[in-house]
Structure 1
Amino acid sequence: MKGAADGALADPTYRRYLAARTVAMAGNALTLVALPVLVYRLTGSATLTALIAAAETAPYLVVGLPAGALVDRWHRRRVLVATGAASGLALLSVPLADALGVLGFPYLLGVATVVSTLFVFADAATFGVVPQMVGRDRVASATSTLVTVGTAIGLVGPLVGGLLVTTLPPALVLGLDGLAYLAAAAITARLRWPGSETVPDVVPGRRLGAEVAEGLRYLWAMPVVRWLTVLGAGNSLAGGAVSGLLVVIGVEQLGLASDSPALGWLFAAGAVGTFVASLALPRVQRRFGVGLITTSGFAVGLVTLLTLSLTTTVLAALPLLAVLNFAMTTLIVNGIVARQVVTPDHLQSRVNTTARLIAWGGSPLGAALGGVVAGAAGTEWALRVAAVGLLASLVGALLVGVPRFPRLDALESGEAPRVTS
C-alpha cells in the first residue's frame, strides 16, 4: 500500500472512479435546476414544486438503515453500476414521456423518488468502496478530493443548468443527466481494485434487522464514531436553518430585493468556504486530532453564526457565510473520514448510512424551526436559536472529552487510546 503522502490521486483506479463521480455530479447539478423548473412550468404550484424537493430527501430517512445493511451483504461495485444505470434510464424516460404527451407531476414525482432511493443504496456502497480502493491511510485525501470536485461543480453546475433551461426544454436537460448517469455506470463497471470482487460473508438465516442492529451497536460502542455522529446533529440543525433561510436573510436582514443578483453571492460565498475546507482538511488532519478539529469547528461555527445574526450588510455577510460553511464542512467531512478509517470493511455501509441518517436528522428540524422563529421574530432571532445547536454540541464535546480524540494516523494504526466517555 502506498503512503498517505502520495495522495489518493496517485492511484489510477481512484482517478477513473473520480472521473465517473465527476460525470454523475455534473449531471446532478443540471437536474438541481431543471427538475423544479419543469415542475413549476407544468403545474404553476409552489407547493408541488416543494413536494418534489421533499421526495429527493425523504428516501434517506425511510430506507437508510436497511440500505446500509443490505449493501454490506452485496457486491458494492455492482451496486454502484446497477443504481447508476437504473437512475440513468429513469431520467431518460422523462424526455420520452414529454415527447409522448404523458408527462405530468405524478410521473416526475415517481422519477424523483426512484432516483433518490437508488442514491441511498449508491451512497452506502460508496462509503465501503473508497477505503477499500485507496486504503485507510488515504481515505482523507480521497474523500476530500470528492468533496472538492463536488463543490466546484456545485458552483458552476447550477449556472450552466440555468442557462440550459432557458435554451432547451427542461425535460431534455433531465435526459442529459440520465446520459451522465449511464456514462458514470459504464466507467465504474470497468474498474477493479484489490477486494473489488469480494462479497462479504453472510451468516445463513441471519435477519436483516440483526445486521442493522449490529451496525448501530458498533456505532455506539466506538466513542469516536458515537460522539462525532451524535454531536454532528447540532451542526446539521444549524446548517438546515441557515440554508433554509438564506434568501429570507438576504431580503429581510440584508435589505436585498427578492430578484437581486446579489442573492446568488450569498450562496457562492458559502460554496467558497466549503471548497476551501475540502482542500485544507487533509493537511489539518495530519497535524491535529479529529477531536480538536471537531471542537474547534463547533466553536468557530458558533461565533460566526452569532456574528451573522448581527449583520445588516452584504459585504459583512459574505465572509461570514464563507467562514461558517468552512467550519460546517470541516465538521461533516472530518466525521465521515474518521468513521471510514475506524470501521471494519464489513460494517462500512451500515455504520456510515446510520451515522448520516442521525446527522442529517437535524437539518429538516433546523429548517422548520428557523422558518417558524423567523416568521415570528425575524431572521436575526432565527439564527440565534439555530446557534443553540452548535452551542449544545460544543458543550457536549467538552463534557465527553472529544478534544482528546487522536489524529487519523493513530486511528488508522489502531494505536489510539480508547476514550470511554
Structure 2
Amino acid sequence: MGQTFSEFAYSTSLLALPLIVLTVTGSPSQAGFIGFVDAVTMVLAGLPAGAVADRYDRRAVMLWSQAGLVLVFAGASAALWAGAASFGVLVAFAVANGALTALLFTTASAVVPSLVPKEELSGAVAANAARTYAGQLLGTSAGGFLQSLRNALPFALGAVMHAVGLVTLLFLRPRPPVSRERPRGKAGQELWEGVRWIAGQPFLRLGLMYATIANFAYGTVYFIVIASAKQSGMDSGLIGLMAALLGVGGLLGALVSPKLLRLLTGSRPVFVVLWLFGVLTCGIALLPGRFTPGVLLGVAAFAAPTASAYFTTHQLLLTPDSHRGRVMSVSQVAGSSAAAAPLVGGVAYDLAGRAPSLLACAAVLVVTALSAVLSPVMRKPPHGAVGADGEGEKDPESSGLVQT
C-alpha cells in the first residue's frame, strides 16, 4: 500500500510541475526541461540505488527514502506558497524528487520476492501494477485540479501522501532470503554488476531495449498531448482529467492482467503492446476530439501492465536475491529512459508541430514492434527461475550464448 501513496505523490508532481512552468513562462521547451531534469535524475540515480538496495536492509532504505520525500515535498509547498519558488528552486526539487523516488521504487521492486511465495510472484507483480496505476489515476487528477487552485497545493498533498506511505512501511515485514550475501568489491564494480548480469541474459537484454524505446516514444507522445492541450486553452483541471484516463486504463489493465497472461502465451504481451502503441499514436495524431488523445492513451495503458508483469516476473525469477536490487535498478533506468522525452517532445512540438511529431513517434514504435516479432530471442523466452539457493538457473536461450 505504501507504494500507492508514493506513486500518487510522484504523479501529482509530474503533472503539476511542468504546468506551473508552462503557466509562468508560456514555453513548452522550458516546461519540458523541468520534466527532463526529474527524469534524468532518476536515470543517473538508478544504478547507485540498486547497489544500495543490495547492500543495506531494504525496509530501512525505503523508510529513509520516504522520510526524505516528505521533507522535499513540504519544502517545495512552503516555497510556492510564499512565492519564493524560482525556476532554480523548482529544478532543485525535481533533482531531489527524482533521486529519492529512484531509490524508493528500485528497492520496492527488489523486495517483492521476499514478501510472497514464488508461485504467487506474477500475481503480486500484477497487484503492485494495479496499485501503481491507482496512484497515477488519483495523482494526475489531483495534480491538475489543485494546481489550477494554487501552485503549492499539489506538493502539500504530496507531502501528506508520502507521510502516509512512511507509516504503512512501518508494518512491512519481509521474509529473510535463504541466503543473501552483501555485495563485495569496489563501489564502481557494484554499480555495474546489474548491467553485466543483464548483458549475459539475451532475453532480458533485448526486452529492456524494447522497453527503453517504447518508454521514450510514449513519454514524448504524452508530453506533446499535454503541451498542445494547454496551448489550445484547455483548463489545467481538464488536462488533469484527460491525463487521468491513463490511470483508468492502467488500473483496469492491471486488474485483468493475470487473465490476459494466461491467454497471451510466450512473448505475445510484449508484441501486442508495441503494435498497439504504434497504431494508437497514429490515432492521437490524426483523429479529432479534445479528449480523444486521453482515451487512446488510456487504451494503450490498459495493455501495458500485462507486458510489464510478464517481463518483471521473468526478471525477478531469473535473478538471485543478491543481485535483484542492481538488476531491478537497470530496469528502473530503462523505465526512466523517457528522461529526454519531455525535452525532445517540447522541442519537436515547437519546431514541427503536433501531428508531425506524433507521427514520427508512431513510426518508431511500429519499427520496434516489427523488430520484436522477428527476433528469435523474443519468440523463445527463457523459463529459468531462481533456485532455493538463490542462484539463477539459466535456460539455454538465457545463457548468454545466443546472439541477438
Q: CA offsets per residue over residues 242-275 of structure 1, 9 Å max, x none?
A: 11211466589xxxx4226875664344333322
- 1:73 is matched with which residue? 55
Contact 2:50 2:325 survives alignment (8 Å): yes
Residues 1:179 and 2:179 aligned together: no
- How far apart in 1 are the matches of 2:166 and 2:134? 21
- How far apart in 2 are the matches of 1:317 and 1:172? 27
Query: Number of residues paired by the alignment?
Result: 392
Contact 2:141 2:240 survives alignment (8 Å): no
- How far apart in 2 are the matches of 1:149 and 1:230? 25
Matching residue's letter, 1:62: L
Residues 1:324 and 2:306 aligned together: no
Residues 1:305 and 2:303 aligned together: no
Once the two structures are TM-superposed, the CA of residue 51 in structure 1 deviates from its matched residue by 4.6
Query: RCO (CA 8 Å, sep 6+): is it higher in 1 or 2?
Result: 2
Change (3 A) 1:412 1:379: farther
DSSP-derived class of the 1:405 partner:
coil
Contact 1:295 1:402 survives alignment (8 Å): no
Change (3 A) 1:96 1:270: closer
Matching residue's letter, 1:383: L
Contact 2:115 2:174 survives alignment (8 Å): yes
Once the two structures are TM-superposed, the CA of residue 185 in structure 1 deviates from its matched residue by 1.8
Change (3 A) 1:418 1:391: farther
- 1:281 is matched with which residue? 257
Q: CA RMSD in A?
A: 3.6
- How far apart in 1 are the matches of 2:351 and 2:81? 46
Once the two structures are TM-superposed, the CA of residue 366 in structure 1 deviates from its matched residue by 4.8
- 2:396 is matched with which residue? 418
Once the two structures are TM-superposed, the CA of residue 77 in structure 1 deviates from its matched residue by 0.5
Matching residue's letter, 2:269: I
Change (3 A) 1:60 1:194: same
Matching residue's letter, 1:180: M
Contact 1:239 1:328 survives alignment (8 Å): no
Change (3 A) 1:160 1:197: farther
Residue of 172, 183, 193 corresponding to 2:174 = 193
Once the two structures are TM-superposed, the CA of residue 315 in structure 1 deviates from its matched residue by 7.3
Once the two structures are TM-superposed, the CA of residue 228 in structure 1 deviates from its matched residue by 0.9
Change (3 A) 1:38 1:200: farther
Change (3 A) 1:394 1:163: closer
Once the two structures are TM-superposed, the CA of residue 197 in structure 1 deviates from its matched residue by 12
- 1:135 is matched with which residue? 117
Residue of 89, 107, 110 corresponding to 1:125 = 107
- 2:369 is matched with which residue? 394
Structure 1, unpaired ranges of 5+? 1-17
Q: CA offsets per residue over residues 283-305 of structure 1, 9 Å max, x none?
A: 22234334122122222323333
Q: CA offsets per residue over residues 368-389 of structure 1, 9 Å max, x none?
A: 5555555555433322321232
DSSP-derived class of the 1:134 partner:
coil
Contact 1:229 1:358 survives alignment (8 Å): yes
Residues 1:354 and 2:330 aligned together: yes
- 2:186 is matched with which residue? 207
Alignment of 1:333-372 (within 5 A): 333-361=309-337, 363-371=338-346
Structure 2, unpaired ranges of 5+? none
- How far apart in 1 are the matches of 2:314 and 2:158? 32
- How far apart in 2 are the matches of 1:39 and 1:341? 42
DSSP-derived class of the 1:243 partner:
helix
- How far apart in 2 are the matches of 1:236 and 1:62? 16
Alignment of 1:12-27 (within 5 A): 18=1, 20-27=2-9
- 2:215 is matched with which residue? 236
- How far apart in 2 are the matches of 1:171 and 1:330? 36
- 2:137 is matched with which residue? 155
Change (3 A) 1:163 1:384: closer
TM-score by length of 2: 0.81
Matching residue's letter, 1:194: R
Percent identity among equivalent residues?
Answer: 22
Q: CA offsets per residue over residues 344-379 of structure 1, 9 Å max, x none?
A: 111111112113323532x24555555555555543
Once the two structures are TM-superposed, the CA of residue 82 in structure 1 deviates from its matched residue by 0.8
Contact 1:341 1:411 survives alignment (8 Å): yes
